[in-house]
Every structure is written in C-alpha cells, then in structure tokens.
C-alpha cells in the first residue's frame, strides 16, 4: 500500500522537505565485493552508432512536414519600457505568417511571476519583445527588423555591488536582493575563534560570468495532434517542461506530451522550459502547423542562462598546528534579471572542514543582465575557489603541507545538519590522487614573488564536496518479448552523460542478458516519471528504480520457470540468460524459450526509487591535483597535468565515469584560465556573441587528465550504492589550478579567469 513520508532531500546544494511516496520495500543494497557481469565494465554507448553516424535526431534536427520557423526580437536595452509596438510591416513581409507580442498574447506569468511571456518592462539586453513565425528561418529573422518598437529607456544597473547600494536602480519592485535579505548561517563564535588563531588568511576572490554553451542550443519544436500538444524540447527535464507548458497554456497535463530522445548537452542551462517553448506551442496553436524555434549561438550567449559572477571574501584562522578555529565567509552572486533561487556559494565554506566557528553571509543580487541559471555545481565551483585557495594560502603561511593541513581538519560528520555522512572516502581520494601526481615533489611556495627567469612549475590541489544522492520519486518499467529481448521504459533524459547506457547495464545485469538484448527508451513523458537531470541525481534516482523493475521481471521469470520445471521457485537459478534447476544445469531453458511460450510482455516489472535513508547526509567527495608551468615574463599559465580522484560510490561504467571527469575538468580549466562572459558595464550589451569572442576550450590547449575513482559503494544511499558524477569533477579544478600557479610564483591571483595580464599585474604590484 503506498504511503507518504516527509523527507529532507538535498538538491544542488539546498535542502528541502519533500513528500515521498513509498510503495513497498526497497531491495537491499548490493554490497561491496558483489560480483557483476555488466556493471562495472566499460560498455560503450548503446546509442553510439546513431550519435556518431549522424542519424540521431536531436530537437534541432526536427523539421516535421509543414514546419514554420520562429525568430525572437530581443530588447536592445538593459532596462526599458515598451511605449509602442507596431508589427504591421513585419506581418506583411514575404513568408511571414504570424507576429506575437504583448499586444496579442495573454499575460502569461513567467519567472515565478516576476515577469510575463511578453513583458512591457524589459530587464536585460536580450529580454523577449516579440516572435515572428515564417516559412523559413531567414525570413523570420529578416522580419525582426520590420517590427517598430518605441522604447523608453530606464536607469539600469549591471554591477552587483552597485546594485546593493542605496538608491541603485531597481530590477524588481521587491528590491535587488533576492528574498529581501542575505542568506545567513552561523555556528560557534567566529570572533572568539579568530582570537585563538595563530595565523589568519583573508582573500578577496572573484569568479566571472560563465556560459554553458552546450553544442546544441536551446530549442523547441511544437505541434498539435487534435487537442494534444506535442513538444520536442532540448531539455534536462521533460516532465518539468510538460508541467510548465500545461500551466502556461492552461491545458490539462494529459494533453501535453514532451519528448527529448537525444539531447545535445545542458550543464544546468536547460533545467526549465524556456519562453521559446511556450511560444512555439502558442504559435503552433494559432497557425495549425508545427513551429520550430531554435536559438542562434548569439541568443545562446545573451539569453540562455549563465553561471553568475561572484564576489567573495573569505577569512580563515588556524592554530600553529593547522587546526582551523574560524571561517568567515561573505559572497555575492550576480543572478541577473530573473532567478527564483539563490546560489549556494557558502556550501563549501560551511561544511567541508571541521571547524567549530563558522559564519557565512550570501547575497543573491538582481542586475539588468541575462538571467542566471544553474551551471554544473552552481555555487560550489565558485565557493570552492574561495575556500580552497584560502586553505592553501593558510598552509603556506604555516609552512604545513596543504594536503596535511586538509587531513588535520577532516570533517567526520556533517556539522551543518548535525548528522553523520552515509559514507566518506575522501581520505582514499586524497591518497590515490597524491600518489598519481607525485605530490611529494611539491616544492615550498617561494617566499617572495618570482618575477623573472625561465618558466616555473607548481603543484596545487583542491577538494570537492557536493550532493549527488538522487532521491525518490523515479519509476521504471521492464517487459520481455517472446524472443527473450527486454525493453525498459523510463521518462528520464540522456543529456549526454550516458544515462541510457548505464541504465541499460543495470537492467542487463539483473536479467543476466547481454547489453545488446536490452533496449532502453527514454525522453518521453508517456514513460514512467523521472526527475530533472541535474544535481548529479539521474543515475542515483533512476538506476535503483530500473534495478527494481528488472528484479520484478526476474522474479516473474523464475516463478514461471518453476512451474514449467515443476520445482519450487527457490530452486530455480537464472544465469547467463538461462533458467535452470539449482545443481542441475541441464534441467532448464533459455529466457527466450520461456517467453516464447507465453507471449508478448507477459513477463514485466515495475520499479520505484525507494526513499533515502533517514538521519544521514549523502555527499560525493573528491580531490584534484594540478601541475602547471607559468612563465613569469609573460604571465602565461600552461596546465601540464590534472589528476582527479572522486568518491561517487559504485562506478557502473568506468568508461563513462572517465568521460564525465574529463569533461568536467576541462570546463573547470576553461573557467580557471580563459572563459569570461562580458557585459558592457555602460550599455548592458553582451560583448561575446559566440565562439569567436568566448573561449570555450579547444583541443589544442588541453593537458593530460588522469581520472581515478575510489569506486566503493555507498553502504546505505540507495540499492545500487551509487551517487552522481556529473558535477563533482568541475568543482575543484579552478582552485587546484590557482593553487598550482601560486605555488609556482609565490603570488596568488584570486580573480578568475587567471589571465596572463592578471598574473603580470600581481607580480608587478608586489614589486
């Protein structure tokens, strides 16, 4: 009998209460040392042939018969009111079928009621003004110029520190600070703590606006089949898109189907429906034809979300033996014009190290710039830059090895929520990583700045702390065909991480079938519910449900075989796709021989994700080590090697694990050294409108990356013992690189990205 319990669930650095439906008992966790056939092996992508062959259909590849193309007119002003808007010239342009604006569209609330689908007050350069739908994309784009808009420019504010000054232009009537006040946290007495400190380090750290730049831009293709709306969306959450679009159009949920079978990357930027999704649906309803709206790369740069820039100040104090006595943290996250939730910048500072006295204050500040979005470990990448640079500066000041200092302050339990961790194998990650990089080679950081001479090497490290537990609800179905092949259906999405492959492995393992005999379908709201693919939660949420569904099918197989073989079910074994009587392998039959006798889908299973264990905090852990070479003359930083070792529970697929590590590290490296999304402080215009002006890392400049895994199952987190690996690898990379640069030169650049100019300036200032 299903019952509902309340659970505290962590998601993207925030803890929330949630009602969780419990349908029955979960399966026991597969213990450490469990022997597997498929799990833990480097299975290649089950859909690799489609992706590499060019036959995979992404949303951007969808051109249904009769499709029309939409283009969006965006605000040229950071803050303005629309005084008048005339669309008649655009409507008469060749090929144009429809122009939508606030004048002919319902005032649908958007951004949690902070705005509308077409607002008359525009709050950033890129805010949506109108939509043109035409026979082809070029005609739609050309007609944008024919829409006449009279704007009344209003005062604007771009810099978050200016935005919190009294009298600053207001982005929203409620004020420029999200929630009206800073988020605060405290334990112990920080002032007393600093009095007991023998060494104190204070750092000002800034991180830039960073763009996701998924290779597939945001896009939606919508059409109506009778009164049912079908949407293909490049999204990380098909069920979320369904809910948002149904609410916006005020239609029942059972009249909306959302699909995303192939998705070209998200990194947090596609967690929600976009305005374009709703606009495609609205336009399609009016025109009775499919409508396709796919962002250009310039729109992706302007209006598709960003990791918001941060301004942080951190102070840490320790006794001479390295014991931390106080951490004082202050951070500002510049969340742009619209954002419903704050950035958890203070997460690392408050939880990573054992410290009795901690105080943190975070302000999430609205500005007249593009809306912030979650981006791969939101807040924690930025917050780790501050904390882990301060920790290494402290170690240098105390002349204690930075790894040793970290070990001396190892947190055995969660001090924020006051409860134990489900598991923590961070010591193992430190040890494996240190060995692989050769940490003992690290020279003492020079006492005075190295201003000239040949390029110098340095070693640095940083620690990763993040969630990734996953949680209920998530569901899956497994069913068997007469020929013994299996089908799995689950309404999750594979945003590029390899979800489809990992889940297929789990079903194949339980059914003892080769991976090639299991077909897993996802990316369709007709399938069982699954959560948002974010917060490193997909595998740990969906995987246990798939295991349970396959396990139910397996039990049905065994029961059916028992009656055929005329033995008790306890005496039937299933191995290698064969059901047989225990101890008498020749008395048995293949799965296909059984299912062949009983028909289509007569053997099936349904599985759910059980609740997370009570009273514990579930975390992923990791350590990264960077070796760099810095030229003191030019300030150029070359990263030679990164070693990454993470504890994310049991590894289902080591090949995909490595891929996630590599990709995360390189995104972290981009943020450390090059990537910066620039908004003109005067005009609010975005200065990087594509890859020409925004430095996504290229293959030419990438170092060697050694991806290691602790690979120990979490004993209680879920029935697989897994956690997520999507976000962990990006978290410590920028700090590890910054620390290596400091170790090389004896000066510390704490303004990211660490450009040659900043390195030279830092060396010069100390001259």
Partner 1 sequence: MRVRVRVNGAWRTAEVWPGASLLALLRDALGLCGSKNACEQGECGSCSVWLDGELVCACLVLAAQADGREVRTVEGLTTGEDLHPVQRAFVEAGAVQCGFCTPGFVVAVVDLLSRDPDPDEPRIREALSGNLCRCTGYQKILDAVRLAASKLGGSSP
Minimum CB distance to partner 1, residue 138 (Å): 6
Question: Is residue 66 part of the contact set for partner 1 (CB under 8 A)?
Answer: no
Helix, strand, or coil here: 631? coil
CB within 8 A of 587, min separation 6: which ones? 565, 580, 581
Specify whether the backbone of 90 is left (phi greater than 0), alpha (psi in -120 to 50) or beta. alpha
Task: Tell me, residue by residue from 474 to 503, as one string, x for binding to ligand FES by CB under 6 A and - for no binding.
Answer: ----------------------x-------
Q: Give whichever of 45 and 315 is closer to ligand FES, judged by the CB atom.
A: 45
Question: Is residue 55 part of the contact set for partner 1 (CB under 8 A)?
Answer: yes
Q: Which does 599 bind (CB under 5 to 8 A by kind): ligand FES, partner 1, none?
A: none
Minimum CB distance to partner 1, residue 707 (Å): 8
Q: Which of 19, 44, 92, 228 binds partner 1 (CB under 8 A)?
A: 44
Minimum CB distance to partner 1, residue 93 (Å): 13
CA 129 to chain centroid: 29
Minimum CB distance to ligand FES, residue 690 (Å): 9
Q: What is the DSSP string of 308-366?
A: PPEEEEEEEEE-TT--EEEEEEEEEEEEES--SS---TTHHHHHSB--S-EEEEEEEEE
**Residue matched to tokens 């979650």:** 374
Minimum CB distance to partner 1, residue 630 (Å): 21
Q: Give whichever of 535 and 663 is closer to partner 1, judged by the CB atom.
A: 663
CA 158, CA 334: separation in Å to the nearest integer? 9
Task: Tell me, residue by residue from 689 to 728, as one string, x for binding to partner 1 by CB under 8 A and - for no binding.
Answer: -xxx---xxxxx-x-xx-----------------------
Q: Give whichever of 402 and 496 is closer to ligand FES, judged by the CB atom.
A: 496
Q: Could you write out the three-class secondary structure of 367-410? A: CCCCCCCCCCCCCHHHHHHHHHHHHHHHHHHHCCCHHHHHHHCE
Positions in 184-243 near partner 1 (CB under 8 A): 212-217
Positions in 396-455 near partner 1 (CB under 8 A): none
Task: Tell me, residue by residue from 280 to 319, as one string, x for binding to ligand FES by CB under 6 A and - for no binding.
Answer: ----------------------------------------
* CA torsion angle 269 273 277 279 (round to 10): -120
CA 68, CA 285: separation in Å to the nearest integer? 12
**Residue matched to tokens 């600070």:** 177
Minimum CB distance to partner 1, residue 748 (Å): 26
Question: Is residue 14 part of the contact set for partner 1 (CB under 8 A)?
Answer: no
Question: Is residue 65 part of the contact set for partner 1 (CB under 8 A)?
Answer: no
Residue 113: count of CB within 10 angstroms of its CB? 8
Q: Which of 9, 10, 45, 723 binds partner 1 (CB under 8 A)?
A: 45
Q: Which does 103 bind (CB under 5 to 8 A by kind): ligand FES, partner 1, none?
A: none
Minimum CB distance to partner 1, residue 693 (Å): 10
How many alpha carbons lie under 13 Å from residue 708 in its C-beta half-sphere?
Answer: 22
Q: Near partner 1 by CB under 8 A, which window of 37-45, 189-197, 386-394, 430-438?
A: 37-45
How many binding residues for ligand FES (CB under 6 A)? 3
Residue 399 has φ and ψ, to the nearest 5°, of 55, 45
How many binding residues for partner 1 (CB under 8 A)? 62
Q: Give whichever of 532 and 603 is closer to partner 1, judged by the CB atom.
A: 532
CA 597, CA 6: separation in Å to the nearest integer? 45
Question: Is residue 195 part of the contact set for ligand FES (CB under 6 A)?
Answer: no
- In Å, how far are 486, 555, 562, 605 from 587, measured between CA atoms? 23, 18, 11, 26
What one-character DSSP code corresponds to residue 72? E
CA 85, CA 103: separation in Å to the nearest integer? 8
Residue 332 has φ and ψ, to the nearest 5°, of -120, 130
Sign of CA dihedral 648, 653, 658, 663: negative
Positions in 110-149 near partner 1 (CB under 8 A): 136-139
Q: Which does 665 bind (CB under 5 to 8 A by kind): ligand FES, partner 1, none?
A: partner 1
Q: Which does 57 bind (CB under 5 to 8 A by kind): ligand FES, partner 1, none?
A: partner 1
CA 93, CA 96: separation in Å to the nearest integer? 6
Q: Give whichever of 317 and 496 is closer to ligand FES, judged by the CB atom.
A: 496
- State both tokens at 412: 């055995």
Give the strand pairing for 68-74 and 291-294.
parallel
Q: Give whichever of 51 and 457 is closer to ligand FES, judged by the CB atom.
A: 51
Q: Give whichever of 246 and 377 is closer to partner 1, judged by the CB atom.
A: 377
- State both tokens at 210: 């960073």
In sequence order, the β-bridge partners of residue 358 are 187, 327
- State both tokens at 717: 């987190």
How many alpha carbons lie under 13 Å from residue 673 in its C-beta half-sphere?
Answer: 26
Positions in 205-234 near ligand FES (CB under 6 A): 215
Helix, strand, or coil here: 590? strand
Minimum CB distance to partner 1, residue 496 (Å): 3
Minimum CB distance to ligand FES, residue 496 (Å): 5
Question: Is residue 496 part of the contact set for partner 1 (CB under 8 A)?
Answer: yes
Give me the active site residues, please.
Answer: 727
Minimum CB distance to partner 1, residue 293 (Å): 14
CA 631, CA 754: separation in Å to the nearest integer? 13
Task: Tell me, residue by residue from 263 to 302, as one string, x for binding to partner 1 by CB under 8 A and - for no binding.
Answer: xxx-x--------------------------x-xx-----
| Nearest residue relative to ligand FES (C-beta) | 215
Q: Which of 302, 343, 620, 667 binds partner 1 (CB under 8 A)?
A: 667
How many alpha carbons lie under 13 Å from residue 165 in its C-beta half-sphere?
Answer: 9
Q: Near partner 1 by CB under 8 A, which window of 31-39, 242-250, 490-498, 737-745?
A: 490-498
- State both tokens at 118: 């077409």
Question: Is residue 664 part of the contact set for ligand FES (CB under 6 A)?
Answer: no
Q: Which does 295 bind (CB under 5 to 8 A by kind): ligand FES, partner 1, none?
A: none
End-to-end CA distance of the chain: 73
Q: Which of 208, 317, 649, 663 binds partner 1 (CB under 8 A)?
A: 663
Minimum CB distance to partner 1, residue 483 (Å): 19
Q: Which does 136 bind (CB under 5 to 8 A by kind): partner 1, ligand FES, none?
A: partner 1
Q: What is the DSSP string of 458-524?
A: EEEEEEEEE-----S--EEEEEE-TTS-EEEE-B---SSS-HHHHHHHHHHHHHT--GGGEEEE-SB
What one-character DSSP code corresponds to residue 615? T
Question: Is residue 265 part of the contact set for ligand FES (CB under 6 A)?
Answer: yes
CA 27 to chain centroid: 28
Question: Is residue 643 part of the contact set for partner 1 (CB under 8 A)?
Answer: no
Q: What is the DSSP string of 163-189?
A: HTSTTPPPSSTT-SBGGGS-EEEEES-
Q: Which does 263 bind (CB under 5 to 8 A by kind): partner 1, ligand FES, none?
A: partner 1
CA 280, CA 274: separation in Å to the nearest integer? 10
User: Is the CB of residue 486 less than 8 Å from the CB of residue 479?
Assistant: yes
Q: Which does 56 bind (CB under 5 to 8 A by kind): ligand FES, partner 1, none?
A: partner 1
CA 540, CA 536: separation in Å to the nearest integer? 8
Question: Is residue 668 part of the contact set for ligand FES (CB under 6 A)?
Answer: no
Q: Give whichever of 498 and 622 is closer to partner 1, judged by the CB atom.
A: 498
Q: Which of 38, 146, 201, 495 binds partner 1 (CB under 8 A)?
A: 495
Q: What residue ranges bind partner 1 (CB under 8 A)? A: 42, 44-45, 47-58, 60-61, 63, 136-139, 212-217, 262-265, 267, 294, 296-297, 495-498, 655-656, 658-659, 661-667, 690-692, 696-700, 702, 704-705
Q: What residue ranges bind ligand FES (CB under 6 A)? A: 215, 265, 496
């Amino acid at each position: 009998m299903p019952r509902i319990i309340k659970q505290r669930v962590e998601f993207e650095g925030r803890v929330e209460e949630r009602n969780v439906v419990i349908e029955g008992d979960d399966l026991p966790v597969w213990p450490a040392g469990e022997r597997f056939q498929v799990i833990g092996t480097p299975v290649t992508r089950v859909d690799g042939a489609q992706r590499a062959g060019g036959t995979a259909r992404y949303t951007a590849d969808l051109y249904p018969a009769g499709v029309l193309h939409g283009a969006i007119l965006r605000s040229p002003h950071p803050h303005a009111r629309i005084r008048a808007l005339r669309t008649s010239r655009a409507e008469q342009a060749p090929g144009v079928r429809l122009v939508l604006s606030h004048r002919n569209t319902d005032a649908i609330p958007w951004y949690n009621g902070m705005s509308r689908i077409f607002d008359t007050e525009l709050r950033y350069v890129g805010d949506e003004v109108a939509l043109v739908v035409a026979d082809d994309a070029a005609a739609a784009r050309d007609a944008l110029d024919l829409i006449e808009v009279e704007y009344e420019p209003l005062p604007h504010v771009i810099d978050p520190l200016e935005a919190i000054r009294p009298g600053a232009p207001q982005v929203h009537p409620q004020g420029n600070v999200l929630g009206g006040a800073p988020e605060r946290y405290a334990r112990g007495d920080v002032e007393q703590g600093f009095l007991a400190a023998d060494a104190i380090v204070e750092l000002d750290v800034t991180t830039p606006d960073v763009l996701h730049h998924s290779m597939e831009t945001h896009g939606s293709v919508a059409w109506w089949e009778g009164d049912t709306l079908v949407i293909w969306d490049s999204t990380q959450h098909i069920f979320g898109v369904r809910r948002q679009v149904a609410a916006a159009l005020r239609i029942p949920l059972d009249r909306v189907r959302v699909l995303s079978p192939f998705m070209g990357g998200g990194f947090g930027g596609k967690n929600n429906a976009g305005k374009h999704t709703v606009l495609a649906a609205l336009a399609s309803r009016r025109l009775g034809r499919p409508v396709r709206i796919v962002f250009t790369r310039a729109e992706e740069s302007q209006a598709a979300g960003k990791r918001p820039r941060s301004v942080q100040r951190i102070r840490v104090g320790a006794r001479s033996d390295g014991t931390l006595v106080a951490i004082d943290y202050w951070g500002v996250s510049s969340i742009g014009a619209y954002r419903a939730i704050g950035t958890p910048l203070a997460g690392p500072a408050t939880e990573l190290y054992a410290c009795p006295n901690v105080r943190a204050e975070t302000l999430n500040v609205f500005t007249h710039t593009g809306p912030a979005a979650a981006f791969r470990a939101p807040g924690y990448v930025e917050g780790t830059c501050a904390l882990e640079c301060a920790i290494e500066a402290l170690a240098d000041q105390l002349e204690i090895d930075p790894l040793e200092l970290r070990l001396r302050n190892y947190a055995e339990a969660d001090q924020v929520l006051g409860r134990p961790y489900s598991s923590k194998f961070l010591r193992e990650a430190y040890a494996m990583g240190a060995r692989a990089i050769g940490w003992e080679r690290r020279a003492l950081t020079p006492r005075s700045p190295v201003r000239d001479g040949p390029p110098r090497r340095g070693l640095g490290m940083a620690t990763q702390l993040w969630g990734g537990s996953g949680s209920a609800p998530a569901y899956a179905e497994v069913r068997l065909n007469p020929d013994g092949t299996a089908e799995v259906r689950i309404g999750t999405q594979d945003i590029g991480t390899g979800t489809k492959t990992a889940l297929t492995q789990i079903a194949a393992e339980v059914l003892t079938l080769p991976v090639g005999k299991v077909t897993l379908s996802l990316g369709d709201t007709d399938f069982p519910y699954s959560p948002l693919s974010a917060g490193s939660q997909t595998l740990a949420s969906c995987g246990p449900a798939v295991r349970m569904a396959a396990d139910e099918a397996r039990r049905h197989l065994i029961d059916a075989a028992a009656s055929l073989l005329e033995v008790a079910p306890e005496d039937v074994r299933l191995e290698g796709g064969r059901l047989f009587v225990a101890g008498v392998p020749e008395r048995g039959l293949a799965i296909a021989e059984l299912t062949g006798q009983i028909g289509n889908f007569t053997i099936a299973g349904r599985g759910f994700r059980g609740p997370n264990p009570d009273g514990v905090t579930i975390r992923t852990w990791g350590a990264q080590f960077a070796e760099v070479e810095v030229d003191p003359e030019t300030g150029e930083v070359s990263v030679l090697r990164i070693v990454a070792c993470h504890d994310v529970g049991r590894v289902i697929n080591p090949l995909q694990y490595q891929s996630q590590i590599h990709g995360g590290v390189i995104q972290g490296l981009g943020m450390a050294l090059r990537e910066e999304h620039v908004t003109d402080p005067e005009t609010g215009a975005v200065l990087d409108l594509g890859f020409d002006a925004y430095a996504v890392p290229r293959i030419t400049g990438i170092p060697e990356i050694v991806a290691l895994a602790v690979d120990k199952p979490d004993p209680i987190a879920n029935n697989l013992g897994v956690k997520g690996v999507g976000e962990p690898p990006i978290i410590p990379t920028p700090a590890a690189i910054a620390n290596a640069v400091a170790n090389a030169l004896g000066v510390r650049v704490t303004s990211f990205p660490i450009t040659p100019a900043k390195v030279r300036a830092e060396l010069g200032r100390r001259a």
